[in-house]
Structure 1
Amino acid sequence: MKTLKANLFKKSAMLIGLVAVVLFSSCKKDDDEMPANESITDIVVANNNFSLLKAALTKADLVNVLDGKGTFTVFAPNNEAFVAAGLDTEAKINAVPVETLKKILLYHVLGQQVTSSAIATASNTPVETLANGNVFVTKNTSGVFVNGANVIQADIMASNGVIHVINTVLMPPTGNIVEAAQANPNFTFLVEAVLRASQGSTNLAQVLSGAGPFTVFAPTNQAFMNAGFANVEAIRAADPAVLTSILTYHVVAARVFSSDLTEGAQPATVNGGSVTITLNGGAKVKGNTNTTASVISSANMLTTNGVIHVIDQVLLP
């Protein structure tokens, strides 16, 4: 009987190889586009929906960069996006260390002009940003997405590039799946479960720290408590094999953003089973023996080796 670890890597190779299609069919300005006189900075400053973005660019000393020469594509978070990220006032933005803020903002900028028509229909194509990290761009029948965030207004032309408005502040990854979970207080039980499972025949922590990519539907602490694990001591006392079976049922061997989820889809998990996706009334995922579907309460937490979606139930095979 093959080991679970071997199956993990076999499925990682077979399930979903990320699209190798060239993202941009052309980066030249379309012939029918009208020339723009205002720079990217001018447009941001003049638009009240970008007042928090303006404050962030000022704090990070990037105003002149996006006002100058060169061609850029900016995935520009509107005020609603900053509010959702907890940066709803200029004071909160100014409290972010300058280098951290600069890295976040440059993660929204490409060093070339890319209009929406120049984006090929493809899923999760990696594109390098000025922060020296990749964003993953998808174009499908529902629109254009970057790291799962929807482009709500495309092709605001500037004299030095183009702006695409998005509804999310994109956060560059700071670690792999295990490291991201360890840094999140809502995942204390999940981290303990992964560590306990790793004491069995498969070092799950090592696997989830590997190259991936993986997608993890990550139950919160409350989800584990609702599933009968009263505290972390209960997890530490659990059978590693049982925990491994449960935890690998939460893992898909591919990078799957919310923009990739479709109604009724049944993605295979690395333990050999499948989960069911529903979108009516918000994105949900259901395990085979769960009586109800789990709500995806927070989506698209990017890591260096995949993506995490937060859920409110432990999925049961």
Structure 2
Amino acid sequence: MAGLVLLLVLCASVVGAERKMTIAEKLREDADLSQFLALLERNAVANTSLQYRQLTLFAPTNQAFQRYAGEMDDSLVLYHIANLATTLSNLDYAISSDLDGNPPLWVTRRSEAMHDDIYVNNAKVDISRSFQSVNRNGKRQVLHIIDQVLQPLQPHGPGALASPVYNPNAYQFLEHSDVFNIGPHRLRSFRQKVNQLHKKGVLDAEGRNTFFIPVDEGFKPTTRSDLIDGKVIDGHVIPRHVLFTHATHSDREYETEAFSDNVKVIISFSTTKNGMEELTYVKSNTVAGDAKHSRGVVMADIVRANIPVKNGVVHLIQRPLMVVDTTVVDFLKEKEDGPLCKLYEVVMDLGPNNQFLSELHNLKDLTLFAPSNEAWNEYSVQNVIRNHQKLQEILKLHLVRERLPMDLIIHNNMNQIYQAPTASPRKYLYFNVLTKGNNQTLTVEGGGVNATVTQPNIAATNGFVHIIDRVLGVPYTTVFEKLKTDPMLNITYNLGKRQMFNQQLGEAEHRFTYFVPRDHAWLKFQLRHPSAFKALFREDIGYYVSGFLIG
């Protein structure tokens, strides 16, 4: 009897295995993959592979095809096929595609809090929908669903037939860039500098690398080209990492080829929103410079991202990295949709000869704490913009008449709260540094408003720009919210939570003046009067804070 049951179970298993749908059937069943299936069915090579070969399919959803703006021909599907059946756990850092020249598909595992996301080039894999089976010929096949169409680098037009280049590395792409479909962009100026400085080997290197190539428009003024030397070329290459924009953590720093004993250059990606549009920038940060290479950050817009090549990925950028040859005003107005375009609009609305703009032009040494584009969308800020006299005062609060790179501010803040005089008479900025592990975050307070520096050390010929997330001097919170969010007031805030003291501070119909000791003051008090400090901070004490409040 037991043998009969076992036989029935085995037979059921065999039937179940036989009835498991093939990858071809899975594609036909899933309406969300209909556009990919149509593309596959038009390609004879892909159809043959599906019937007879082991393979892995990376299938974009219909929504991905609707967003795709590249060239669409029957061979595109071959860039979504690999000739080995590879599950997610077995994906290596690269897998060869079936497209002519077998260009690689680059795999990134991006660590998140509770899981790893997997990307193929710049497309995210929907891990929950991966599927494996065998086809009618017994060949194992795997299907992965992705959220973008994979766009290969291929020759196009008449030049493609005359001098075909398949699966180029970064240097071959640069050398033959006119053959490829990269839109209106031209790369002749950077190519000329690479050849002139004998830096072919940096772009020719095997392995996994990320390359940033400035387009010709970024070489204006023409004198900019004279500032590009071999070290600057090195600063456009990240070795040992293939970094696609969506697959890379924002603001994570990577050492470039220009990271040595004397000069140290790191690169990171940054994203910002302009309305509904998300813009991606690349930032070079020269943390250690020399006479030819200024310290500080240079930001460049990525004008065409994620171009896969044989030895990594290429991003075309709006201007060269590491080169500091513009003033603060030049940086503000450099791009119509740049990271500080709203600030420039606000300044220009005061008139082309306004006092604040004149000061930016004339100062040889300055630091501008510049509110981001999003900071100007606050309702309270919109009201201030209409009052030109008040706006002038607010803008001056963001200007310091000396060079203050972030490391100098941190150094000055070590033993006391550092304060810097602003261009607004008798008004100062106050700084605080928050340390978490190896990361340091700088906050700045001016006019009662606390802001976080989101992008420090943008270098200009006449100083530095630090991008902040608030407009200083324009109140936008209640006393309670100020207390809760200001990192320098944590101790008083925590004390006020006892006996629900803090709750009254959020009542908008009341007016308060609250004398709040900073955390630094409390710590000094603790050193001088440890017994009193311990008594005040007993769990059953909560009444004393009312002595700091005037209703």
TM range (shorter): 0.5 to 0.7
Q: Which AA in structure 2 matches 1:128?
A: S
C-alpha distance in 1 between matches for 2:195 and 2:52: 52
When residues 267 and 195 of structure 1 are mapped into structure 2, their CA distance, relative to the original with a 3 A threshold, is same
Q: Quick check: 2:211–2:313 contact (8 Å CA) kept in 1?
A: yes
Question: For residue 126 of structure 2, what is the aligned residue in structure 1?
Answer: 152
Partner of 1:294, secondary structure, is: strand
Larger Rg: 2
When residues 137 and 196 of structure 1 are mapped into structure 2, their CA distance, relative to the original with a 3 A threshold, is closer
The correspondence for 1:304, drawn from 299, 310, 314, is 310
C-alpha distance in 2 between matches for 1:245 and 1:165: 42
Q: How far has the Cα of 1:308 moved from its partner?
A: 0.6
Q: Quick check: 2:190–2:213 contact (8 Å CA) kept in 1?
A: no
C-alpha distance in 1 between matches for 2:314 and 2:32: 29
In the alignment, structure 2 segments of 5+ residues that lack a partner are 1-12, 136-140, 154-165, 260-264, 286-294, 324-551
Q: How far has the Cα of 1:165 moved from its partner?
A: 0.9
C-alpha distance in 1 between matches for 2:79 and 2:318: 30
Task: Map residues 63-82 of structure 1 onto 2, 5 A cutoff.
Answer: 64-65=47-48, 67-82=50-65
The correspondence for 2:230, drawn from 244, 268, 272, is 244
Question: For residue 145 of structure 2, what is the aligned residue in structure 1?
Answer: 165
The correspondence for 1:180, drawn from 170, 173, 186, is 173
Q: How far has the Cα of 1:170 moved from its partner?
A: 2.5
Question: For residue 281 of structure 2, what is the aligned residue in structure 1?
Answer: 284
Q: Quick check: 1:277–1:284 contact (8 Å CA) kept in 2?
A: yes
Q: Which AA in structure 2 matches 1:80?
A: Q
The correspondence for 2:37, drawn from 54, 67, 76, is 54
Task: Map residues 1-317 of structure 1 onto 2, 5 A cutoff.
Answer: 35=17, 37-62=20-45, 64-65=47-48, 67-86=50-69, 93=72, 96=73, 101=75, 104-116=76-88, 118-119=89-90, 125-131=93-99, 132-141=102-111, 142-153=116-127, 154-160=129-135, 161-173=141-153, 174=166, 175-181=168-174, 182-183=177-178, 184=182, 186-188=184-186, 190-200=187-197, 203-211=198-206, 213-225=208-220, 228-229=221-222, 238-239=225-226, 242-258=228-244, 261-272=248-259, 273-279=265-271, 283-288=280-285, 293-316=299-322
When residues 71 and 242 of structure 1 are mapped into structure 2, their CA distance, relative to the original with a 3 A threshold, is closer
Please state which structure has a larger fraction of its residues in helix. Answer: 2
The percentage of aligned residue pairs carrying the same residue is: 22
Q: Which AA in structure 1 matches 2:193?
A: R
Higher relative contact order (CA 8 A, sep 6+): 1
When residues 223 and 115 of structure 1 are mapped into structure 2, their CA distance, relative to the original with a 3 A threshold, is same
TM-score relative to the length of structure 2: 0.41
Q: Deviations over 1:163-205 (max 9, x none)?
A: 11112232445312133232345442x43223134324xx123
Q: Quick check: 2:297–2:322 contact (8 Å CA) kept in 1?
A: no
Q: How far has the Cα of 1:151 moved from its partner?
A: 0.5
Q: Which AA in structure 1 matches 2:69?
A: G
In the alignment, structure 1 segments of 5+ residues that lack a partner are 1-30
Q: How far has the Cα of 1:286 moved from its partner?
A: 1.4
Partner of 1:296, secondary structure, is: strand
When residues 62 and 49 of structure 1 are mapped into structure 2, their CA distance, relative to the original with a 3 A threshold, is farther
C-alpha distance in 1 between matches for 2:298 and 2:218: 13
C-alpha distance in 2 between matches for 1:80 and 1:205: 40
CA RMSD of aligned residues (A): 3.3
Q: How far has the Cα of 1:297 moved from its partner?
A: 4.6
C-alpha distance in 2 between matches for 1:185 and 1:299: 12
Q: How far has the Cα of 1:70 moved from its partner?
A: 4.5
After TM superposition, the runs of 4+ consecutive aligned structure 1 residues lying more than 4 A away are: 279-283, 289-292
Q: Which AA in structure 1 matches 2:48?
A: V
